[in-house]
Structure 1
């Protein structure tokens, strides 16, 4: 089972709609269930997808050195991928990750699903929970 917050899904679908007809490939990150203020009724170690890293962050450095400096080390084991003119299936051209949230038009509740890197659809649970507040130290 893959868990994601409703807020993250809403933002990602809005980004996908705004980017159409271009595809998106965005790194996602999770927060352990124990860090939420509300009880999610999940094991405390369960990862919940809560936020994303801007796809353009660190792009110029990556182009020169071939490294993704926009995503902190150890983060981003999940991706949000769109197929604006495609089907709701993982393709060989997708940036494969351990977990992929894939979306297609019309960018609504019925147009996205979770997959593993082999293309098998995973159970997805959207949680109406706010992630913990974070601040820049």
Structure 2
């Protein structure tokens, strides 16, 4: 049973975020993440095994179709000069991303003053597995993380033109 304070994420996105954090270790990662309404998810990708994070909801069948589920990742683009000056990715419109993923290679499983804050912040620490990630609100309050075996619709972000935000 999900509540309004639960944070929902697809297993595929969570796995990709943890792989990204592991690949960049010992450097920290900060990446924008976006949601898809639960009613738009492809639920045919069920793996049927719970994670160790206190939240597993097979395919999200009991979710309200309007429930936001984190499904997509925008990789950091550190080579752009504007990003280097301001320290954030300004090419992604705020309406496109409702959350932020950050890695803390030194092991702080909490939101810190150095993190880019969003409505929801997913924080991961070594050893970069499902037990080493947690969800927080922008004030640093921990929220229950529910991992779904579902996928976003194919081609969901194909129409996004990052020049629209420049």
Normalised to the residue count of structure 1, the TM-score between the two structures is 0.89
What is the alpha-carbon distance in structure 1 between the residues aligned to residue 110 and residue 81 of structure 2?
Answer: 30
- Unmatched 5+ residue regions in structure 2? 1-5, 44-58, 160-166
Q: Using the alignment, how far apart are the partners of 2:63 and 2:130 within structure 1?
A: 23
Q: Which runs of 5+ in 1 are unaligned?
A: none
User: Counterparts of 2:149 and 2:108 in 1: how far apart (Å)?
Assistant: 27
Which residue does 1:124 correspond to in 2? 145
| Count, aligned residues | 137
1:98 match:
119
Counterparts in 2 of 1:58 and 1:28: CA distance versus 1, 3 Å: farther
User: Offset at 1:73?
Assistant: 4.5
C-alpha deviation, 1:97, in angstroms: 1.0
Distance 1:50 1:13 in 2: 14
How big is the alpha-carbon RMSD for the aligned residues of Structure 1 and Structure 2? 2.2
Aligned ranges for residues 1-137 of structure 1 at < 5 Å? 1-38=6-43, 40=60, 41-56=62-77, 59-63=80-84, 68-134=89-155, 136=158
Distance in 2 between residues matched to 1:91 and 1:130, nearest whole Å: 30
Q: Distance in 2 between matches of 1:2 and 1:70?
A: 25
Which structure has more relative contact order (CA 8 Å, sep 6+)? It is: 2
Q: Is residue 62–residue 69 contact of structure 1 (8 Å, CA) maintained in 2?
A: yes
Asked if the contact 2:34–2:70 (Cα under 8 Å) also holds between the matched residues in 1, the reply is yes
1:65, distance to aligned residue in structure 2 (A):
8.5
